[in-house]
């Protein structure tokens, strides 16, 4: 017989425990909701508990937080948005102190802002620079939690849909953090937060049993058949679900069942391919773009031979290692992405992200300050809202003059550009040291001394 939680307990026992924890203090609750089965069941149980609780005792607020990476699979995005809307509508109608909130990365820290703006290489499984989960999932939910702590001026309890039965490794991690005899543990990275895992003892079958009972309806009236269909059609998840690259710990809201549509960490995106196999042919262009982007990482000439900031390193074969995408490659990615967006009529990159990328290019690369707005106009036929407002830092005649100068004196154009932009950025500060330091930094970048560094490294 399976080791089911329900062999020795009833659903009411579980609701009693949740109610006991809810009533035991005044700390607001925050539930990380990914749309997967485990977090759905947590929201369902908490909602059910609130419904049966005397209204006078519903004293503290429950925030349901759902992470939207802004590169969600369109099917999951639509499903999540429908669920959050229905949850908010039902909760308001029943007068429950529960609200649902999507959280997103800041426009300047999204997948596209980092790839196209800063040139970060697409994350890959064995790469040292695994930047995506923290920036796209963990940090936005962490910020939400910190905001609630500040606004309510209280400690909070974070409810996670983690279960011991998920894997032996996860069971060990959970048990390692358990404090005997207590239902709450301290959150490992947020000081004023505690963690409560209400379904920690449930098996996978227990979870499905709850979701499929009650005519497959959630407590707020959502239809779990849709969830079942998503699980049937897809087969895959974020490979780093719930793991922060900094401390390898389980975090709220990072536990996503479905990965980003553009995920380059897995060789095969099982959920995307699964959806296509089950008939969602509209996702084929996304699948093709994803593959193109993954391959671009390895195409010669598409990435710098230096890191951002000018540092260099050598591979074990003695070759110069790769850094960010070149500016030309970033423009190519943006062009392809905008063309795809236009073709499929589905928003893949927002205006806010474009504005953030434009600001990054202005600060780091673009002497003309017109590259992004002109590219957008060329590809889409539309002008960005700030198209006519952007004055160039240098007009095109001055830019070609600078390029000629660089060629004549054999000076890397990137060095001259970095110096002009450093001067521009610091020219209004009365402290001249800032400008001096910025110029020093520009002229001492490692890549400028590559030949001497190589000799030094190989002599030592």
Question: Which are the contacts of 141, defined by CB distance < 8 A and separation ≥ 6?
Answer: 32, 65, 67, 103, 251, 252, 253, 254
Question: Closer to ligand SF4 at the Cβ: 69 or 414?
Answer: 69
Among 76, 149, 162, 238, binds ligand SF4 (CB under 6 A): 238
Residue 253 binds to ligand SF4 (criterion: CB under 6 A) = no
CA distance 176 to 292: 42
Question: Closer to ligand SF4 at the Cβ: 238 or 448?
Answer: 238
Q: Which range binds ligand SF4 by CB under 6 A, 23-31, 166-174, 218-226, 237-245?
A: 237-245
CA distance 86 to 77: 14
Q: Which range binds ligand SF4 by CB under 6 A, 91-99, 163-171, 206-214, 258-266?
A: 258-266
CA-closest candidate to residue 349, choices 117, 140, 100, 84: 117
Question: Which are the contacts of 260, defined by CB distance < 8 A and separation ≥ 6?
Answer: 69, 71, 72, 73, 111, 132, 136, 238
Whole-number minimum distance, CB 255 to ligand SF4, in Å?
Answer: 11
Whole-number minimum distance, CB 262 to ligand SF4, in Å?
Answer: 7
What Cα–Cα distance (Å) separates residue 333 from each residue in 62, 201, 361, 363, 439? 41, 46, 14, 19, 31
Residue 239 binds to ligand SF4 (criterion: CB under 6 A) = yes
Question: Closer to ligand SF4 at the Cβ: 178 or 336?
Answer: 336
Q: Which range binds ligand SF4 by CB under 6 A, 233-241, 329-337, 375-383, 406-414?
A: 233-241
Question: Considering only residues 264-293, where is the footprint of ligand SF4 by CB under 6 A?
Answer: 265
Three-state secondary structure call for residue 158: strand
Residue 337 binds to ligand SF4 (criterion: CB under 6 A) = no
Residue 74 binds to ligand SF4 (criterion: CB under 6 A) = no
Widest pairwise Cα distance in the chain? 83
Residue 210 token pair: 């709850």
Whole-number minimum distance, CB 16 to ligand SF4, in Å?
Answer: 36
Residue 123 binds to ligand SF4 (criterion: CB under 6 A) = yes
CA distance 244 to 111: 16
CA-closest candidate to residue 195, choices 154, 148, 160: 160
What Cα–Cα distance (Å) separates residue 82 from each residue in 38, 163, 210, 223, 407? 18, 26, 21, 10, 57
Question: Closer to ligand SF4 at the Cβ: 53 or 266?
Answer: 266
Question: Closer to ligand SF4 at the Cβ: 239 or 285?
Answer: 239
**DSSP code of 195?**
E
Residue 34 binds to ligand SF4 (criterion: CB under 6 A) = no
Residue 263 binds to ligand SF4 (criterion: CB under 6 A) = yes
Identify any residues that bridge with 156 across adjacent strands, giving them in sequence order.
193
Among 105, 140, 161, 259, binds ligand SF4 (CB under 6 A): 259
Residue with tokens 């005519």, as numbered in its chain: 215
Question: Closer to ligand SF4 at the Cβ: 233 or 450?
Answer: 233
Instruction: Judge contact between 41 and 257, C-beta under 8 A.
Output: no
Whole-number minimum distance, CB 148 to ligand SF4, in Å?
Answer: 23
Instruction: Judge contact between 161 and 41, C-beta under 8 A.
Output: yes
Among 40, 67, 91, 133, binds ligand SF4 (CB under 6 A): 133
Question: Considering only residues 43-72, where is the footprint of ligand SF4 by CB under 6 A?
Answer: 69
Q: Which residues bind ligand SF4 (CB under 6 A)?
A: 69, 123, 132-133, 136-137, 238-240, 259-260, 263, 265
């Amino acid at each position: 017989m399976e080791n089911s939680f329900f062999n020795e307990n009833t659903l009411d026992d579980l609701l009693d425990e949740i109610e006991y924890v809810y009533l035991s203090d005044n700390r607001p609750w925050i539930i990380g909701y990914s749309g997967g089965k485990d977090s759905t069941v947590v929201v369902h149980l908490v909602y059910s508990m609130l419904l049966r609780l005397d209204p006078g005792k519903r004293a503290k607020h429950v925030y349901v937080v759902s992470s939207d990476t802004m590169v969600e699979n369109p099917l999951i995005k639509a499903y999540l948005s429908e669920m959050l809307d229905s949850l908010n509508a039902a909760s308001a109608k029943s007068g429950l102190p529960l609200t649902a909130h999507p959280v997103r990365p800041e426009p300047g820290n999204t997948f596209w802002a980092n790839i196209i703006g800063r040139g970060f290489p697409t994350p890959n499984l064995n790469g040292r620079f695994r930047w995506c989960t923290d920036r796209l999932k963990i940090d936005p939910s962490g910020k939400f939690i910190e905001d609630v702590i500040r606004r309510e001026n209280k400690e909070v309890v974070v409810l996670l849909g983690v279960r011991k039965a998920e894997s032996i490794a996860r069971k060990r991690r959970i048990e390692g953090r358990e404090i005997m005899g207590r239902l709450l543990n301290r959150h490992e990275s947020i000081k004023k937060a505690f963690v409560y895992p209400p379904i920690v003892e449930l098996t996978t079958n227990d979870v499905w049993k709850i979701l499929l009972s009650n005519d497959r309806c959630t407590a707020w009236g959502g239809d779990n058949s849709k969830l079942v269909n998503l699980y049937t059609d897809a087969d895959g998840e974020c490979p780093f679900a719930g793991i922060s690259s900094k401390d390898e710990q389980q975090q709220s809201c990072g536990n996503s069942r479905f990965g980003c549509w553009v995920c380059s960490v897995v060789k095969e995106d099982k959920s995307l391919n699964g959806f296509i196999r089950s008939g969602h042919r509209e996702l084929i262009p996304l699948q093709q773009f994803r593959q193109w982007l993954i391959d671009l990482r390895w195409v010669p000439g598409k990435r710098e031979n230096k890191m951002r900031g000018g540092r260099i390193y050598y591979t074990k074969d003695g070759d110069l290692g790769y850094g960010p995408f070149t500016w030309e490659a970033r423009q190519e990615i943006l062009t392809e992405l905008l063309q795809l967006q236009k073709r499929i009529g589905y928003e893949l990159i927002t205006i806010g992200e474009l504005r953030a990328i434009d600001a990054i290019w202005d600060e780091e690369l673009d002497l003309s300050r017109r590259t992004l707005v002109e590219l957008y106009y060329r590809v889409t036929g539309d002008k960005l809202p700030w198209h006519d407002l952007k004055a160039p830092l240098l007009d095109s005649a001055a830019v070609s003059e600078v390029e000629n100068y660089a060629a004549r004196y054999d000076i890397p154009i990137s060095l001259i550009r970095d110096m002009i932009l450093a001067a521009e950025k610091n020219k209004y500060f009365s402290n001249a040291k800032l400008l001096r330091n910025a110029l020093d930094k520009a002229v001492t970048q490692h890549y400028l001394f590559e030949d001497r560094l190589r000799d030094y490294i190989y002599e030592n």
